[in-house]
A and B are shown apart, each in its own frame.
Chain A
């Protein structure tokens, strides 16, 4: 099988899939500038909808709640996710290991309506007994973290598995306590995975709609719930604007992270070159 003969078909197939993936996003961004009440009819360029969205009280207050929830959710998720991932990768056998593995896999596939209803009924029952918690920030946070811990655990687990364990063992042999090993060796080694897990869970939480709809109380709704209730009614220029803004943010984040990675790569190369020079000087000097 000559790879060259495959090339046209493979390029075509991939181009079509990418077109499928990106066409709606591009159209969304273009229509967010559309100066027409009829969303799909082109009426020239405008920033009108951006201005209207920026002054939409319902959008702003729900966005604020969404950001707060996402911030707390992402932080809690990487802590719990690291614990779970560490337990699963570093401890050979413990009581309930299979169960913990199952617990982590369930939220990855279980339809969100199932988790949302179960959590709502749970909170209602707990509230009957304890008079706490009220539906709102706290319940949404628990629901989101429930989902996000699994994603964080998967991301961190794959990093923990591939990292070189002999460094941890060397630190132990040199007398470091387990906590020291974890803080000084393991944590720095998985820091990049922690950052990507944090960002992933942050964006998942910011986007979660079904769990939020079940667990939000009167006067405390997240942005996706507001968007969803409007989107059900039909096309809406403000949704195009919000979508377009998320696209801009993602583009900025991608550019920034690739610049940051390139810089770090360069610095690492410089450092190792400097270390090599020093080594050479020491050897020739001695």
Chain B
């Protein structure tokens, strides 16, 4: 939006620069202190050597005999390369995150499409029903699947009662229960940006495509999908990036056979008390999701603009 104002308004604004400075500086300083600085310290500790006592770390840089010594220890990182388990864990975390994203998109896109096409009278209520679970506890909603997927749980009871199976299925602590939990936890983050772009879609474009002889399927692929691209990208990243490092859902619903980087990091820190290794594991995780985060940063702005 262009700033078209008479010059005296501009002058008056300049005059109150101090207020403007405070408005900008307060959040900026907050993030520098509690987001940027912690990340730099994370990086520093991943490169530090433990001091002789085993508590705390040697400084990265020091002055000795008027010479600046900089000491970077890459041992925590090279340990990640030596042990194949880490590589496998990163790959499996990314694989599961991709699968989660795909499932959320396949289930969420038609849902968001139908939601955007529903009659305007009921739409606010339907949208509200998607948001509502947000307000209850995420942790407890994930936990609630244990009630359902347990060997004696409701799903097994139902399937036995319906005569579909003879013996109860083992569903808890499998890839299945893990994926159910992941999709359940993340699908609202897919639906909402998709809905935000789909609801802006001009219905006349679909009519025009139909008038020009396109089949519904063709219209969908050639008109609807390309026009909702920003929503697809934002929603997918909103699911994929946090899913890579998700800790709570695998811990509650996936068995120990599911390799997950969030859990590895947690265990390095809380069980092995190896801070440098935990920091290195985390730094590599951040590097892996850096590109998706950059893309998200671009599309988030676009979706915000589309939504408003």
Residues of chain A within 8 A of B24, CB atoms compared: 83, 87, 91, 94, 96, 100
Binds A, one of B66-74, B150-158, B225-233: B150-158
List residues of chain B with CB within 8 A of the CB of A128: 56
Most chain B CB atoms below 10 A, which of A41, A149, A173, A228: A228
Chain A residues near B199: list those with CB within 8 A.
none
Interface residue? B252 (CB, 8 A): yes
Alpha-carbon distance A94/B21, docked complex (angstroms): 9
Question: Are B282 and A146 touching (Cβ within 8 A)?
Answer: no
Q: Chain B interface mostly helix, strand, loop or mixed?
A: helix
The size bracket of the interface on B is 35 or more
- B140 within 8 A of partner (CB): yes
User: For chain A residues 174-222, which have a beta carbon within 8 Å of chain B?
Assistant: 177-179, 203, 206-207, 209-210
Q: Which residues of A contact B296 (CB under 8 A)?
A: 105, 109
Whether A105 and B135, one on each chain, are in contact in the complex, defined by CB atoms closer than 8 angstroms, is no
The number of inter-chain residue pairs (CB within 8 angstroms) is 255
B28 touches A96 (CB 8 A): yes
Whether A232 and B251, one on each chain, are in contact in the complex, defined by CB atoms closer than 8 angstroms, is yes
Report the Cα distance A109→B140, complex, angstroms: 21
A45 at the interface (CB under 8 A from B): no
Central interface residue in A113, A128, A149, by most chain B CB within 10 Å: A113
Closest to A239 in B: B143
The distance from the CB of B214 to the nearest CB of chain A, in whole angstroms, is: 9
Q: Tell me, in angstroms, the Cα distance from A234 to B147 when the chains sit together.
A: 10
A235/B133 in contact, CB under 8 A: no
Using an 8 Å CB-CB cutoff, how does the interface string of B130-143 with A read, 1 for contact, 0 for none?
Answer: 10111111111101
How distant is B143 from chain A, measured CB to nearest CB, in Å?
5
Q: A125-B41, A228-B139, A243-B136 are contacts. A113–B117 as well, Cβ < 8 Å?
A: no
Q: With A and B bound together, what is the CA distance between A99 and B38 in angstroms?
A: 16
Binding site for A on B (CB under 8 A): 1, 3, 5-6, 9, 12-13, 16, 19-20, 23-24, 26-28, 30-31, 34-39, 41-42, 45, 56, 107-108, 110-111, 114-115, 117-118, 126, 128-130, 132-141, 143-148, 150, 152-154, 157, 184, 187, 206, 210, 216, 219, 237-238, 241-242, 244-248, 251-252, 262, 265-266, 269, 275, 278-279, 282, 285-286, 289, 292-293, 296-297, 300-301, 304-305, 307-308
Task: Give me 7 A-to-B residue pairs in the complex whose CB atoms sit less than 8 angstroms apart, sorted by A's number.
Answer: A1-B219, A24-B141, A39-B150, A106-B35, A111-B289, A169-B5, A254-B128
In the complex, besides A1-B216, A146-B35, 20 extra interface pairs with C-beta distance below 8 angstroms are A22-B133, A28-B140, A28-B141, A40-B157, A100-B24, A103-B27, A105-B300, A110-B289, A111-B246, A113-B266, A119-B38, A121-B42, A125-B41, A146-B34, A149-B27, A224-B139, A227-B140, A234-B146, A243-B136, A243-B141
